[in-house]
Structure 1
Amino acid sequence: MSYPNTYYKQTIAETNVRPPLSGTVECDTVIIGGGLAGLTTALQLARAGQSVVVLEAESVGFGASGRNGGFVSPGFATGSDNIARMAGTEAARQIHRLSIEGVEFVRETIEALKIDGARPQPGITSVLRYDDGGSLKAHADEMRRIYGYELDYLSTGEVRSVLKSNRYFHALRDPKAFHMHPLNYLRGLAREIERLGGRIYEGSAATGSVLDGAEKTVSTSGGRVRARHVVFTTGGYTGPLNGRLKRSFLPIATYVMLSEEAPELIRTAIATTDAIGDNRRAGDYYRLVEGGKRLLWGGRITTRAASPAALAGELRREMVGTYPQLKDLKTELAWSGLMSYARHLMPQIGEMQPGVWHCTAFGGHGLNTTAIGGKLVAEGILGQSDRYKLFKPFGLVWAGGYAGLAVAQLTYWKLQAQDWWRERAA
């Protein structure tokens, strides 16, 4: 099957051709969606001895899972105060610990499966674009006190010694977080699932389902799967198969570009191997790839997919506005992907009816949260734990449809304006 023209496609050739589903097959659990959440769920179930089938409409990692920035760090798309308000203080702390566990799960999986093409590059630095070091120090103290999690505070001078921009002030560096090649990681998961006896069918969009009763049936154009459990993990590319799920989140597009090879020029601006993200809502994120030869830069969101080439122009303006010394750095490639956002900005993880599970809406913070989400769903199916119930306060609430998309876009523009005023005053 085809895969979007992204940097990740260019750096790995997939030789394992997976056929579409043909005829009737049976299994313990059928998973709809071959992205991070679906493959993690399948991996954990296969490790426990279950027979699993994964149905992927396109190819493994086709959606946002295989084209994102590659950042792996704790946390969610919304802040801890919002989580505590919805779930309670103690539950919020347990949920944050799960996000830390998700980071370690990804790291341990790469090591255990020897996925050399996704070798972790340690360090993610979060920078402020205004002068408020006190808030970062307070946050670092809170993480240390509550979770025993160490973050390194960087002064303005320390930040600007490695990020040659007067746009940046203070920062927190997370030495345990890392960045990696997400598509290589996904393909490593897929190979292990198949080694354990799991079956992955590409080009096999689910077109119908019968979900009542002990035995569930999911149909494609070429066949059907009978199973005791069904798991929906389709994210921003969810179709009309499950209306309740599709109505519960918004598909939001984000954009990424890749520079030409220019290591000497890039070093005049960025002298660190850390991945970088700024403090703005849907702000810039970037990292060096290919040993510092190229710069991968992402950001911007839209509620309707726009031309990646046009949005690359906006990303370039952000890059050059931050680093004027990179004005001659050419863009070689740009692409986009659809994320799924729930109204409450939290993942939706749980059992919507007996034997029917969902694990979706990771809101642009998916490499750690999909890992823990898939792990929790697998634990629930296997009867090993009910930790997935921690996400019960973040249910499948209606996201507002077209009106919700309009509100989301207006909210983003409002936040952009607030960011602009705050930075202008710095």
Structure 2
Amino acid sequence: MLNQPVWADIPPPSFPSLTDTIATDVCVIGLGGSGLSCINELLAIGVSVVGIDATTIGGGAAGRNGGFLLAGLAAFYHDAVAAIGRERAAMIYRLTVAEIEHMAALMPNIVRRVGSLRIAASPEEEADCRVQMQAMRADRLPVEPYHGSEGEGLLIPTDGAFQPLHRCFWLAEQAQRGGALLFTHTPALAITDTTVDCPNGRIHARYVIVAVDGGLERLLPELRGTVRTARLQMLATAPDPHCTIPRPVYTRWGYDYWQQLPDGRIALGGCRDRFAAAEWDAAPEPSQPVQAMLEQILRERIGSRAAIEYRWAAQVAYRSDSILPIARQVRRGVWAIGAYNGTGNVIGALCGRAVAHAAVRGDTELLDLLGRE
């Protein structure tokens, strides 16, 4: 079974692997959206940066996700209010809306401001949509009731869609122009104090920022028991002129999701919960049971008969104890961001910038908002 995302339509930018011992102010591990956002913020602060990745630019979940830009945390807004309080939940939500706007302004050819739908898959979920709408309207956050061909639910007009791998490439090019040294195919084998050992080189840094999502607990054992990695799977079709899906769709409590790309292809993911035991700690390879269920949704729920041309998987990290992401110092000089509970495209960029300022400048205002327990 192929393991190629629909987003990989152009070659990744070429960067060498590390073959020497070098020194820098900050070493960032993980060259996905969060890590690259962190690197660009560090460069703006005025420090030297080395970034490494075990594979390629956006080779993990950052370049292999569903291409959704969703405001807020992974939890639905009313659940976030219940968990962390109304004021904090609203502040985070508004920050993520502003981040989507910022991304759209920087990358207009990559980001589409089309909104998103939360579609109820049961009467219970329909009732939950109404509770979410009440909570959002109470805090003057944009939301509308929705009734259309997809079903009943909510329209979130500030959300969007994007090409996640192209975003990573764009961020990497900006980082390189800003003076960062980037190395691909360079896994971090060990972090001792603030020295990072790689297969053929070593990085001595003042600070280390670990910006991987899937496998975060493997690189930082301090997070075991708090963070656990799961596999997410997707497929994509050939262009389908018979389907029209104007905006991304989240349904069945967010477990299933799809969108139609500008060229007419349908990208569909989900069903992890139906095979949960097999998806924890699983290798990032598509599996037959999940792919079969996704294909059933494609044919029966969406109604597409287009040929399936792509199947892929990625690893992401989930927290067992909080709806908040990991954004903290885990040991002296070593910081971690990740565990976005499956929706890191927007909040991850904010976490990257927050940790950059906290590590180098000691400014923890944004970090406290996003990661403080």
Query: TM-score, normalization: structure 1?
Result: 0.78
CA distance in 1, matches of 2:186, 2:118: 39
Cα separation, 1, equivalents of 2:100 and 2:94: 10
Contact preservation (8 Å) 1:379, 1:386: no
Cα contact 1:127–1:279 (8 A) shared by 2: yes
**Is 2:45 the partner of 1:52?**
no
Change in CA separation of 1:281 and 1:127 when aligned onto 2, cut-off 3 Å: closer
Q: Distance in 2 between matches of 1:97 and 1:308?
A: 37
C-alpha distance after superposition, 1:197-236 (max 9, x if no partner): 011101111112221xxxx211111111111111011111
Q: Higher helix proportion, which one?
A: 1
What pairs with 1:331-410 in structure 2 (closer than 5 Å)? 331-343=308-320, 344-383=322-361, 384-394=363-373
**1:228-267 Cα distance to aligned partner (Å, 9 max, x none):** 1110111113474421135431111111111123313x2x
Counterpart Cα distance in 2 of 1:225 and 1:188: 25
Which letter does structure 2 place at the counterpart of 1:23? D
Give the superposition deviation at 1:7: 1.0
Q: SS of 2:73's equivalent?
A: coil
One-letter amino acid of the structure 2 residue matched with residue 208 of structure 1: A
Distance 1:197-1:246 versus aligned 2 partners, 3 A rule: farther
The one-letter code matched in structure 1 to 2:116 is I
Partner of 1:286: 258
Q: Which residue of 2 aligns with 1:187?
A: 169
| 1:119 counterpart (104, 111, 124) | 111
Corresponding residue of 1:412? none
Q: Is the 8 A contact 1:208 1:241 kept in 2?
A: yes
**Aligned mates of 1:208, 1:93 — CA distance in 2:** 38
Contact 1:87–1:393 (CA under 8 A) maintained in structure 2: no
SS in 2 for 1:20: coil
CA deviations on 1:28-58 (whole Å, 9 max, x unpaired) are 1111111121111111111222211111111
- Structure 1 pair 143–210 and aligned structure 2 pair: CA distance change class (3 A): same
User: Which of these residues, 252, 258, 269, is aligned with residue 298 of structure 1?
Assistant: 269
Distance, in Å, in 2 between the alignment partners of 1:227 and 1:70 is: 33
Q: Report the Cα offset of residue 174 of structure 1.
A: 1.7
What whole-Å deviation, never above 9, does each CA across 1:321-350 have from its counterpart, x for those lacking one? 314x43x33212211111100102431111
What residue number does 2:275 align with?
none
CA contact (8 A) 1:125 1:276 kept: yes
Residue 76 of structure 1 aligns to a residue whose secondary structure is: coil
Structure 1 residue 137: deviation in Å?
Answer: 4.6
Deviation at 1:80, TM superposition (A): 4.3
Change (3 A) 1:173 1:89: closer
CA deviations 1:368-424 (Å, max 9, x no partner) are: 111111121122134244221234554xxxxxxxxxxxxxxxxxxxxxxxxxxxxxx
The alignment's C-alpha RMSD in Å is 2.4
- 2:295 partner letter: R
8 Å contact kept, 2:118–2:153? yes
Q: Which residue of 1 aligns with 2:228?
A: 250
Q: Which amino acid aligns with 1:356?
A: V
> Among 115, 121, 134, which residue is 1:129 paired with?
121
Deviation at 1:82, TM superposition (A): 4.9
Matched residue, 1:273? 246
Unaligned runs of 5+ in 1: 395-426
Distance 1:297 1:234, change over 3 A: same
Aligned to 2:133: 140
Amino acid at match of 1:361: A
* Structure 1 residue 7 corresponds to structure 2 residue 6: yes
- Is the 8 Å Cα contact of residues 86 and 393 (structure 1) preserved in structure 2? no
- Paired residues of 2:4 and 2:312 also in contact (CA < 8 A): yes
Q: Could you tell me which amino acid in structure 1 is paired with residue 197 of structure 2?
A: S
Check the 8 A contact 2:3/2:286 in 1, yes or no: no
Residue number among 140, 144, 151 corresponding to 1:152 in the alignment: 144
Q: How many pairs align?
A: 361
CA distance in 1, matches of 2:14, 2:371: 38
- Greater Cα offset, 69-78 or 179-188: 69-78
* Aligned equivalents of 2:310, 2:83: Cα separation in 1: 40
Contact 1:75 1:365 in 2 (8 A): no
Match of 1:408 in 2: none
Once residues 101 and 119 of structure 1 are traced to their aligned partners in structure 2, the CA distance between those partners, rounded to angstroms, is 14
| Bigger Cα Rg | 1
- The letter for the 1-side match of 2:183 is Y
For the 8 Å contact 2:117–2:247, the answer to whether it is kept is yes
Residue 107 of structure 1: which of 98, 104, 117 is its match? Answer: 104
Q: Cα 1:83–1:154, aligned 2, differ >3 Å: closer, same or farther? A: closer
Take 1:125 and 1:277, find their aligned partners in 2: how far apart are those partners?
6
Letter in 1 for 2:240: A
1:92 corresponds to which residue?
89
Unaligned ranges ≥5, structure 2: 273-278
Amino acid at match of 1:151: V
Q: Identity, % of aligned pairs?
A: 22
8 Å Cα contact 1:376/1:388 also seen in 2: yes
- Which of 215, 221, 238 is matched with 2:199 structurally? 221
Contact preservation (8 Å) 1:121, 1:274: no
